[in-house]
Amino acid sequence: MSERERTFVMIKPDAFARGLVGTVVSRLEDRGLNLVGMKVEILDEETAHEHYAEHEDKPFFDDLVDFITSGPVVPMVWEGEDATRQVRQMIGATDPLEADAGTIRGDYALDLGRNVVHAADHEDEGANEREIAIHFDEDELVSYEGHDETWLYE
Ligand code: IDP
Ligand code: MG
């Protein structure tokens, strides 16, 4: 059954530097998802470690932390029906070479280590709650009913 939920998404430093913030936000807005939290920050090493804790033992971990702390990122929370799976489908496969055209990574990225956007994994139970809590306080997120919901949901 479909469920209205919040999902964590973050524009990475490569996309920020390339001026793709508006493009990524537009894609998610155009899909009908509601933006309920957003900020610009430069992650410190400790936050980056926490954010990518699941990859701590991987050979690419140090490069990943260096990259994600190298410039501004845009952590966001988006809300909607099946938001986690909808967003994962929209960002495409991790490796841009495998990402379908029409996905964000398939349209705007070439390299696995510069793939524009992070999104919580729907296969990782609790990922949204964990990642949202790393980047946001509860009072930084808003609740509202979108004016277009009659036309987005049956
Ligand atoms: P995801 O971002 O699609 O959820 P994950 O497997 O969680 O993919 O990996 C986190 C990030 O680490 C990826 O987005 C990518 O930038 C980077 N990454 C994943 N696998 C590799 C690799 O084999 N080499 C280098 N970087 C990688
Ligand atoms: Mg992941």
CA of 51 to the centre of ligand 2 (A): 10
Backbone phi and psi for residue 77, each to the nearest 5 degrees, phi listed first:
-125, 130
Q: 0.85 cut: is pTM over it? A: yes
Residue 2 reports pLDDT greater than 80: no
Residue 122 among the catalytic residues = no
Share of the chain above pLDDT 90, in %: 95
SS3 assignment, position 9: strand
How many other C-beta atoms lie within 10 A of the C-beta of residue 90?
20
pLDDT score recorded for residue 3: 78
Interval 102-128 mean pLDDT: 97
**Any idea which ligand is nearest the CA of 98?**
1
Burial of 140 (0-12, 13-18, 19+ CB in 10 A): middle
Burial of 125 (0-12, 13-18, 19+ CB in 10 A): exposed
Q: Which of 49, 51, 55, 118 is catalytic?
A: 118
Q: Which residues line ligand 1 (CB under 6 A)?
A: 55, 60, 64, 94, 112-113, 115, 118, 121
